[in-house]
Structure 1
Amino acid sequence: MGADESESNMKIALLGGKMGTVPKYALPEENWSEDLLLAQRVISTPSRLAIVGYLYANGPTLRATLIKELSLDTSLVGRNLDQLEDLGILIGDPPRGERVGRSTRWEVNKERYNRMAKALYDFLGIDLLQPGQEPSEG
């Protein structure tokens, strides 16, 4: 991939400082799919990535368990759970609006997760193996 091709994949925000102008972060292209934008939002912070990864691996879990197992701040976990639910990657049981006095069990929306993962892997050029499929030798 040449320099021109890589520049067309994303925009770079530049930050000036003592070391000169350096890339601060990559901005998504306007033509990114909803699923690729979701991946960017989920992996944008270590806490979101940890929460989604833990829930994907361990199944439905209470917020208190996430706080304990991930050693994260209570308010950070609460804020991220709400944001991830708003993004549609997490499902709370009971649903929002019915949570008065009840502990919420959080789980990954597997359909949304799988679409997000596929979009990210496609963008990165990584082939996903289907269950039981052998890697191709090349």
Structure 2
Amino acid sequence: MNMKTAADRGKMGSVPKYALPEENWSPDLLLAQRVISTPARLAIVGYLYTHGPTLRATLIKQLSLDSSLVGRNLDQLEELGILIGDPPPGERVGRSTRWEVNQDKYSGMAKALYDFLGIDIQQPITEQGDQDV
């Protein structure tokens, strides 16, 4: 079997190609891949989506995550556009930032992920035993 590896595409080592994003993925699907790529990012976005605007200190306490891990991921998620910080980056000196999910980006990301997985969000999910025979 001749499997193309990530080594052919850059510095990722020998990760099989199927583990890498495809070139034709939409920006929203790439965003979803980046958000769910680490448990910390997924937890942060999930918490903010569920609870609304929140301070970093609250995220650290509620998610039981290391302060530097939360800070690094908040910055990365803001760069990706999925989070919005208030005040904006240039105005944060000495001020606490309130973080929230960018609803437009979140909706686009969720739709792209559901489409990619073949999930129809209009149809209720049934358990296998619930199907008509």
Query: Equivalent of 1:47, from 40, 52, 58?
Result: 40
CA deviation vs aligned residue, 1:10-54 (integer Å, no higher than 9, x gap): x7659xxxxxx9859710110000000000000000000000000
Alignment of 1:62 onto 2:81: no
TM-score (structure 2 length as normaliser): 0.81
CA RMSD of aligned residues (A): 2.5
Provide, for residues 54-107 of structure 1, a one-character-per-residue CA deviation record: whole Å limited to 9, x for no partner: 000000000000000000000000000000000000000000100111100000
TM-score (normalizing by structure 1): 0.78
What corresponds to 1:99 in structure 2?
Answer: 92
Query: In the superposition, relative to structure 1, how do residues 68 and 95 fare at CA in structure 2: closer, same or farther (>3 Å)?
Result: same
Contact 1:63–1:104 (8 Å) recurs in 2: yes
- Equivalent residue runs for 1:1-138 within 5 Å: 13=6, 26-129=19-122, 135=124
Query: Larger % of helix: which?
Result: 2
- Which of the pair is proportionally richer in strand? 1
Provide runs of 4+ in structure 1 moved above 6 Å.
none
Task: Count matched residues.
Answer: 119
Letter in 1 for 2:89: R
Give, in whole Å, the separation in 2 of the partners of 1:48 and 1:58.
15
SS of the residue 2:91 aligns to: coil
The separation in 2 between residues aligned to 1:68 and 1:75, in whole angstroms, is 13
2:35 is aligned with what amino acid?
V
Contact 1:12 1:27 in 2 (8 A): no
Q: For 2:88, give the aligned amino acid.
A: P
Between the aligned partners of 2:70 and 2:108, the Cα distance in structure 1 is 24
